[in-house]
Amino acid sequence: MTLIDLANPTRFLSLTAKILPWLAAATALLLAIGLYQSAMAPDDYQQGATVKIMFIHVPNAWLSMFVWGVMSLSALGTLVWRHPLADVSAKAAAPIGAAFTFLALVTGSLWGRPMWGTYWEWDARLTSVLILFLMYLGLIALWRAVEDPSRAARAAAVLTLVGAINIPIIKFSVDWWNTLHQPASVLRMGGSTLDKAFLIPLLVMAVAFSLLFITLHLAAMRNEILRRRVRALQMQQASQPRA
């Protein structure tokens, strides 16, 4: 199966109907394993039990950037390759990305209060992630403001690609500026600095949340395709001569 095969919405719907139950089951299983491992992980010598917040904060923070990456690829698909499902993918991903970003911000804040002594600090990492959250909300508002999906798609694609500049800024903000936020400890040159007791639950949770995103994204894309069918049929009905 290639991307061209998936350009047919009916074929895409057929595929998602088959794989969504399996994806949902795999997500639930991996989340259960990850939560168990997170609960059983030892306390950190500095953070104590608050290290457990990291097992949900970090996957949400990674996904907040990853989802924008998916939307940027979809934006290229809309503007360059004109793939019929590209804007469906972008529109479906935005609310899910916004939710992950919101969770990254709030769980980070709940970790920061006991560890840093403050819920919020206007430093480079926190501020750039807040900007990412606001950009997600802006994109959702844009999709809702323009009634014609194809017109909204092009405007949203341009905004998404412009907003993609924020992703490397978030990633490298801890290296480029002095911030309260600690530097990368997992995805870094030279390997992870985390002990296996923390690294394994974190990676299991990261894979579980990634599967959760894929499942929700495919389901939301399916809904969007159906919504466009409703719109097309409603327009067809409105254009039919009345007896």
Partner 1 sequence: MSLGPYASFIVSSYLLVALVVLILIGWIALDYRQQRARLRELEASGVTRRSGRGAADLS
Residues in contact with partner 1 by CB under 8 A are: 10, 13-14, 16-17, 39-40, 43, 48-50, 52-53, 56-57, 60, 95-96, 99, 102-103, 106-107, 110-111, 113-114, 212, 216, 219-220, 222-223, 226-227, 229-230, 232-234, 236-237, 240
d(CA 225, CA 210): 22
Helix (H) or strand (E) holding 232: helix 196-239
Q: Which residues contact 161 (CB under 8 A, 6 or more apart)?
A: 72, 75, 76, 79
Q: Which is nearer to partner 1, 164 or 206 (CB)?
A: 206
Q: Tokens 């969007």, residue?
A: 224
In the bound state with partner 1, the residue whose beta carbon lies nearer, of 64 and 164, is 64
Largest CA distance in the chain: 78
Q: Is the dihedral of CA 174, 177, 181, 185 positive or negative?
A: positive
Listed residue (37, 174, 56) closest to 108, CA to CA:
56
Rounded Cα–Cα distance for residues 104 and 130 (Å):
10
Nearer to partner 1, 172 or 210 (CB): 210
Which residues face 44 on adjacent strands? Answer: 48
Residue 48 pairs in a beta bridge with 44
Q: Which is nearer to partner 1, 102 or 177 (CB)?
A: 102
CB of 237 to partner 1, least distance (A): 5
Q: Which is nearer to partner 1, 31 or 79 (CB)?
A: 31
* Whole-angstrom distance, CA of residue 164 vs CA of residue 143: 18
Smallest distance from the beta carbon of 80 to partner 1, in angstroms? 28
* Residue 40 Cβ vs partner 1, minimum distance, rounded to whole Å: 8
The count of other CB atoms within 10 Å of the CB of residue 120 is 15
Which residue's CB is nearer to partner 1, number 5 or number 175? Answer: 5
Q: In the Cβ-directed half-sphere of 76, how many Cα atoms lie within 13 Å?
A: 6
Query: In angstroms, what is the minimal distance from the CB of 190 to partner 1?
Result: 29
Task: Return the beta strands (E) in the chain as ranges.
Answer: none
The CB-of-111 to partner 1 minimum distance in angstroms stands at 7
Q: Work out how close the CB of 167 gets to partner 1 at its nearest, in angstroms, rounded to a whole number.
A: 22
The nearer residue to partner 1, 107 or 173, going by C-beta atoms, is: 107
Rounded to a whole number of angstroms, the minimum distance from the CB of residue 169 to partner 1 is 25
